[in-house]
Amino acid sequence: MRLTRMSMAFRFCTLSSISPRLHSASAVLYRQMSTDAKSVADRLSSSGFIRSQGLIGGKWTDAYDGKTIEVCNPATGEVITNVSCMGGKETNDAIESAHNAFVSWSKLTAAERSKYLRKWFDLIMAHKEELGQLMTLEQGKPLREAIGEVSYGASFIEFYAEEAKRVYGDIIPATLPDRRLFVLKQPIGVVGAITPWNFPLAMITRKVAPALACGCTVVIKPSELTPLTALAAAELSIQAGIPPGAVNVVMGNAIDIGDALVASPKVRKITFTGSTNVGKKLMAGAAGTVKKVSLELGGNAPCIIFDDADLDVALKGTLATKFRNSGQTCVCANRVLVQEGIFDKFANAFSKAVESMKVGDGFGEGVSNQIILLLIFHAGPSD
């Protein structure tokens, strides 16, 4: 990220030059091992909250070839567990399962589907501490922020549990006296949902809840970096009584899974949050079977500070928009443009604020950022 003095004489100034202390401490912090993280992982594992298999047709399933991939704690590098590394065959079976479940799930009344979703919401909220801890383990965000995401993610389920009962049609004035025109809204079918690592729960519930509410069934492909939260949420959907096959989860070989989802004529919609390049490939692949596509891609978010800005407000806003989730969101500022007259004051205040941030294990007290630690350590100072 750059602080930039432009137009009316804005200038470039790298974040690495503003806050060198983050870089000098990164290697030391990277080697620190968190006993809290270890104890949390052991407790979640012993309670059965950590799942390592995919979910196909209501059954927990290993990869057919037995392959697994490691899921690591980004703060320590320690392996949390090994999960099934699935591919095209498993995905096709998940699609078939979702397709079969669609027949019965889509015929339920909206009120009935709403009850299942409400129960799922209640279970997630009842286990928000465990889900938050699991998210911090695999994704790295501070525990408080992770628990906040659980509530945020659950809110989508709550919202669509209510909206499920309000899927209205339309009556259209006819042009001929002996005609009646009306619109009925019906579920489209199987939905393939591909989600990123930065919001392991919220990006899933944001896609899955409306799909289920409408009567669709889903095949979820979470990031291979953060599959554990998705699997835990899927387990809670089973406990909520959502029928087998309505929710399926496959993870592992992203290319093979994605290819299977876009190629299958039984998948009628693709929803994806991620990079623009991958989104273009999914859109091109979906064209072959004329799927509906919903894409949330990339992001280009400048933060602009003018001379007449309230410095305190501008500082708080910039810190929030840049460092939320350690800067790993689609709406985080990727550059800051500061007008000449306020540049020095803002740069000094921003520098002090960044240096006061605590980077480390997400279970540590007062930690505000974690994943940026590994990005700095591996990639070096950014320009």
H or E segment and range at residue 56: strand 54-56
**What is the rounded distance in angstroms from the CA atom of residue 375 to the CA atom of residue 353?**
20
* Exposure string over 78-96, b if 16+ CB within 10 A, otherwise e: eebbebbbbbbebbbbbbb
* Half-sphere exposure in the Cβ direction for 207 (13 Å, CA): 29
The gap between the terminal CA atoms of the chain, to the nearest Å, is: 7
* Contact between 53 and 61 (Cβ < 8 Å): yes
H and E: helices and strands count for the chain: 14, 15
Residue 241: exposed, middle, or buried by beta-carbon count in 10 A (0-12, 13-18, 19+)? exposed
Q: Tell the residue number behind the tokens 């406990």, with chain if given.
A: 239
Distance between CA atoms of residues 378 and 380, nearest Å:
6
d(Cα 197, Cα 227) in Å, to the nearest integer? 8
Q: Which residue has the tokens 């091109």?
A: 284
Among residues 114, 249, 246, 268, the alpha carbon closest in space to that of 186 is found at 268
Sequence-distant (6+) residues with CB within 8 A of 229 are 131, 134, 135, 138, 139, 200, 201, 204, 222
What single-letter amino acid sits at 335?
R
**Active site includes 158?**
no
Pick from 49, 184, 223, 28: which is nearest to 130 by CA? 49
Q: Which of 162, 296, 340, 365 is catalytic?
A: 296
Distance CA 209, CA 193 (A): 11
Residues labelled catalytic: 296
